[in-house]
């Protein structure tokens, strides 16, 4: 049907534009949720038509199967998405919430990974599935990062406190990076063998990836800032921000440091110090509009791809049951990973009582979880974990994403009562 990358990309962009129009014109859901819902419906329609017209199913499966989701997201889209999200973070607000943001995105991710991985190991055992413990931990690490994309617009309309909005957006940006580092560290153990890779070596690898990513982000951010400050030419300045993202992320892979963390740090620096001290009002306007457009386009494309992934996944009854159980486990893990750090931090800082349910139910799983699952090494367990991940992500975006606004409003109303 399609013979080259350009034709595939053209087809996906045209579909994204069509689905976006249908959503805005008729369905009126938040953009990412609406697009994913439409693509899921189309996927189900293709599967149904495939029973009567097998050639349709074969053609669409071939098209979707030819798309390297993991490479597209992890090596191309993720850098733009994280930078675009970080460039709009208000560093003054973030500074006030930096302790909970860093705590939730580091300790919280580790707690969530350990709890989900351990619990899933016993769940698999209960279904007579001998999934190795290291694969269960890998699953815990790939499903722990939360996705701020689909939920932030809903929360803004629900009128939640700006401090909580900063916690959710800041934590989600940082825990994407931390989650990838944890996943890579565990994946390294899988390849090397647990006997050849102890806790110390794993810890050092984690520190190198995370610390190196933050340091590289500082270099990129301040390097970009000085280049922006030395000229006043909005076309070139927008181009510099693109170069920071593309060149910086590519070099991060060669330096073996965390590209996602580097993008978050660089985005925060350019989005605050860069806009405040290095950009004219004209440049600032163009930079903001450019990265907002990139953010919207890539997110729409990402959730379109997530919806179409259903066509090529194989689900059996046992995997579906485990996936439904895993939804509860992941939500429980999210609650524990937020509750424990909050319990310790509450000795020095007062936390709003509506924060725990909002952070728990608002911790959506998205494209990064699917991409990490697809990057798992080929084995008899990979397809099982990919299918379970997909079930959780679909539930998270459609059910949690569509109800978090009402939950936020309800809790806000409850809070006002004496």
Residue 128 belongs to a domain with what CATH number? Answer: 1.20.1530.20
Alpha-helix runs per DSSP H in 347-400:
355-361, 367-374, 382-395
- The position carrying tokens 């989650």 is 179
Same-domain pairing of 254 and 321:
yes
Q: How many domains does the chain have?
A: 2
| Domain membership of residue 298 as a residue range | 69-416
Of 49, 65, 81, the residue at which a domain comes to its end is 65
Same-domain pairing of 206 and 99:
yes
Give the per-residue pLDDT at 354.
78
Give the per-residue pLDDT at 211.
93
Same-domain pairing of 294 and 375:
yes
Same-domain pairing of 37 and 53:
yes
Give the per-residue pLDDT at 156.
63
Residue 330's alpha-carbon distances to 140, 143, 208, 313, in angstroms, are 8, 8, 28, 21
Same-domain pairing of 355 and 375:
yes
Distance CA 184, CA 205 (A): 9
Of 23, 48, 65, the residue at which a domain comes to its end is 65
Same-domain pairing of 221 and 115:
yes
Of 65, 82, 115, the residue at which a domain comes to its end is 65
Same-domain pairing of 38 and 86:
no
Please give the angle made by the CA atoms of 103, 107 and 112, to the nearest 5 degrees.
Answer: 125
Dihedral class, residue 229 (left if φ above 0, else alpha if ψ from -120 to 50, else beta)? alpha
Give the per-residue pLDDT at 225.
97
Distance CA 258, CA 179 (A): 10
Give the per-residue pLDDT at 418.
45
Same-domain pairing of 43 and 78:
no
Same-domain pairing of 108 and 41:
no
Same-domain pairing of 43 and 103:
no
Displacement of CA 59 from its chain's centroid (Å)? 29
Query: pTM of the full predicted structure?
Result: 0.91
DSSP 233: -
Interacting residues of 113 by C-beta distance below 8 A, sequence separation 6+: 137, 140, 141, 144, 182
- The position carrying tokens 């066509």 is 311
Same-domain pairing of 380 and 410:
yes
CB 109 within 8 A of CB 178: yes
Interacting residues of 301 by C-beta distance below 8 A, sequence separation 6+: 12, 13, 16, 77
Same-domain pairing of 53 and 87:
no
In order along its 418 residues, the chain shows pLDDT tens digits of: 556 778 888 888 999 999 999 999 999 988 888 999 999 999 999 989 988 988 888 888 888 888 888 888 888 898 998 999 899 888 998 888 898 999 999 999 999 999 999 999 999 999 999 999 999 999 999 999 987 665 666 666 666 677 777 888 888 889 888 999 999 888 888 876 655 555 677 778 788 899 999 999 999 999 999 999 999 999 999 999 999 999 999 999 999 999 999 999 999 999 999 999 999 999 999 999 999 999 889 888 989 988 998 888 888 899 999 999 999 999 999 999 999 999 888 776 666 677 889 889 988 898 889 989 988 888 889 999 999 999 999 999 999 988 888 888 888 655 554 4
């Amino acid at each position: 049907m399609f013979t080259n990358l350009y034709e595939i990309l053209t087809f996906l962009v045209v579909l994204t534009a069509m689905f976006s129009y249908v959503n805005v014109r008729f369905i009126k859901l938040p953009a990412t949720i609406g697009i994913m819902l439409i693509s899921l419906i189309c996927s189900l329609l293709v599967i149904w038509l495939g029973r009567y017209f097998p050639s349709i199913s074969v053609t669409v499966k071939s098209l979707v199967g030819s798309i390297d989701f993991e490479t597209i997201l992890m090596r191309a889209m993720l850098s733009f998405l994280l930078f675009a999200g970080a460039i709009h973070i208000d560093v003054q607000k973030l500074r006030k919430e930096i302790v909970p943001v860093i705590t939730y995105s580091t300790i919280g991710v580790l707690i969530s990974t350990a709890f989900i991985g351990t619990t899933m190991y016993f769940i698999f055992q209960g279904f007579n599935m001998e999934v190795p413990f290291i694969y269960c931990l890998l699953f815990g690490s790939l499903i722990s990062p939360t996705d701020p994309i689909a939920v932030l617009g809903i929360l803004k309309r629900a009128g939640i406190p700006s401090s909580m909005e900063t916690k959710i957006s800041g934590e989600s940006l940082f825990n994407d990076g931390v989650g990838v580092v944890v996943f890579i560290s565990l994946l390294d153990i899988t390849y090397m063998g647990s006997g050849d890779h102890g806790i110390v070596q794993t810890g050092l690898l984690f520190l190198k990836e995370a610390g190196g990513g933050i340091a590289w982000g500082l270099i990129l951010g301040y390097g970009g800032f000085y280049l922006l400050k030395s000229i006043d030419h909005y076309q070139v300045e927008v181009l510099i921000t693109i170069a920071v993202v593309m060149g910086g992320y590519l070099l991060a892979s060669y330096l073996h440091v965390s590209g996602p963390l580097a993008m978050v740090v660089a985005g925060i620096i350019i989005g605050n110090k860069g806009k405040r001290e290095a950009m004219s009002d004209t440049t600032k306007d163009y930079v903001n509009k450019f990265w907002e457009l990139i953010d919207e386009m890539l997110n729409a494309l990402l959730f379109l791809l997530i919806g179409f992934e259903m066509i090529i996944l194989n689900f059996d009854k046992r995997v579906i049951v485990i996936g439904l159980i895993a939804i509860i486990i992941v939500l429980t893990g999210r609650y524990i990973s937020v509750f424990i750090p909050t319990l310790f931090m509450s000795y020095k800082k007062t936390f709003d009582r509506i924060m725990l349910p909002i952070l728990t139910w608002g911790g959506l799983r998205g494209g990064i979880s699917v991409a990490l699952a697809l990057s798992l090494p080929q084995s008899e367990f990979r397809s099982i974990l990919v299918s379970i991940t997909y079930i959780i992500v679909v539930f998270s975006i459609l059910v949690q994403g569509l109800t978090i606004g009402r939950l936020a409003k309800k809790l806000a109303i409850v809070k006002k009562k004496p």
